[in-house]
Amino acid sequence: MKEYDLYVPLHSNDGTPIPTAQLARLKKRLIQRFGGLTQFPQSHEGFWEIGAVTFRDKILILRVLSNEGPGESRRFWRQIKTTLKRQWGQQEILIVVKDVTLT
């Protein structure tokens, strides 16, 4: 089983807040695909440097678990990443993948 943590930016790179409707559509898509998700609502901040400038953003972490094969999941997450970068005005989207064993 795999665990996927999607680090969702709450602002585009120009500082514009991501509309709540877009975030709701993303959550709905993940729930439909994986049957549920865990949202970590506490305040998180991300920092990154480009040249001499340090950028900062508030983020939300969405976690899903999946038993899908690696090829199928890889295509889905690549599509999510491409869509969010384009539609949400992001240079990058972080997705962390971990192996999980349920006990």
What percent of the chain has pLDDT above 70?
85
Phi, psi of 17 (to 5 degrees): -60, 140
Distance CA 92, CA 18 (A): 15
Domain positions in the chain are 2-99
**pLDDT at residue 100 above 70?**
yes
Read off the pLDDT of each residue in 20-40 and give the average, rounded to a whole number. 95
**pLDDT at residue 64 above 90?**
yes
**pLDDT at residue 54 above 70?**
no
pTM of this prediction exceeds 0.75: yes
| Angle, in degrees to the nearest 10, between helices 70-87 and 20-34 | 170
CATH topology of domain 2-99: Alpha-Beta Plaits (3.30.70)
Site of tokens 């094969």: 69
- The residue ranges of DSSP E strands in the chain, in sequence order, are 2-9, 38-50, 53-66, 94-99
